Amino acid sequence: MEKSSHFLNEAEIEGFFRMAEPINLRGMSLYDGFLSLEAQEQMVKDLREVVRAAPLFSPITPSGKAMSVRMTSAGRYGWVSDRKGYRYSETHPDGGPWPAIPQSVLNVWEKVSGASRSPECCLVNFYDETAKMGMHQDRDEQDFSQPVLSISLGDDALFRVGNLTRGGKTESVWLRSGDVLVMGGEARRLYHGIDRVKPNSSTLLPKGGRINLTLRVVT
Ligand code: MD3
Ligand code: FE
């Protein structure tokens, strides 16, 4: 293969991605098994560099509790939380700028988001076997007409989706390594969370656990 460019041509992208009709979950589109194993491995490699440049940290909620999910970001903006509140910031809590969003991740956005803009944040969530994320809405972004795209890597996670307001009936689905979920339109404002991660359900990450990437347009 030509090594003159690290950008993938159309044909190369085809082998990395499984293009099939998505499953509709309350208006979200689930692309089950979208990433080939090769594509997942490339992404993990790229994410090791991201985490080296911008180490994972445990965000503190405004009420003072440490989140069980560890996080970092890539892109122009990163999502941070501390006693002052939730927000997007151009700098890591350590002070420096965030690394660029890897091309392997941008390729997924280009292929399935249908968005008119490029992502400005790739939030990287790392779950160990005890981590979870309570039901919430993503509303720190300015333009809700732009979708959010999620990529799951590593151990399976039990994802719960609710409604446009807190409470009411919910539905759950296991997100597996290589799955891609796109939240656009009304579904962009649904309550959602992660109840638990199933230990040892994937061999992608040598030390186990789960990575979720969410690509967002922030401004
Ligand atoms: C539905 N992350 O980072 S991804 C988050 O698996 C977040 O780490 C979860 O919720 C995780 O905010 C869930 C699926 C997801 C992401 C964003 C959404 C579902 C969404 C935004 C709106 C509606
Ligand atoms: Fe969320």
List the 121-127 sheet strands across, edge first.
23-25, 28-31, 180-183, 148-154, 210-216, 121-127, 70-74
Query: What domains appear along the chain, each with residue ranges and CATH number?
Result: 5-216 (2.60.120.590)
Q: What is the dihedral of CA 135, 87, 124, 75, to 10 degrees?
A: 150
Q: What is the pLDDT of residue 5?
A: 66
Q: What is the pLDDT of residue 105?
A: 98
Per the structure block, which two tokens stand in for 170? 């919910």
Counting from 1 in the atom list of ligand 1, the atom nearest the Cα of 69 is 8
List the 157-161 sheet strands across, edge first.
133-136, 192-197, 157-161, 171-175
Mean pLDDT of the chain: 95
Q: Express each pLDDT in 152-176 by its tens digit.
A: 999 999 999 999 999 999 999 999 9
The residue whose C-alpha atom lies closest to atom 17 belonging to ligand 1 is 148
**What are residue 203's phi and psi, to 5 degrees?**
-105, 10
Counting from 1 in the atom list of ligand 1, the atom nearest the Cα of 212 is 8
Parallel, antiparallel or unpaired: strands 148-154 and 180-183: antiparallel
The residue whose C-alpha atom lies closest to atom 4 belonging to ligand 1 is 150
In contact, 105 and 137? CB cutoff 8 Å: no
Q: What is the pLDDT of residue 3?
A: 54
188 lines ligand 1 (CB under 6 A): yes
User: In angstroms, rounded to a whole number, what is the distance separating the alpha carbons of residues 19 and 93?
Assistant: 38
Closest CA to 57 of 101, 92, 85: 92
User: In angstroms, rounded to a whole number, what is the distance separating the alpha carbons of residues 164 and 137?
Assistant: 8
Q: Express each pLDDT in 62-97 by its tens digit.
A: 999 999 999 999 999 999 998 889 999 999 999 999
Q: What is the pLDDT of residue 4?
A: 56
**Inter-helix orientation angle 37-53/103-112, to 10°:** 130
Please state the pTM of the whole predicted model.
0.95
3-state DSSP helix/strand/coil % of the chain, to nearest 5: 20, 35, 50
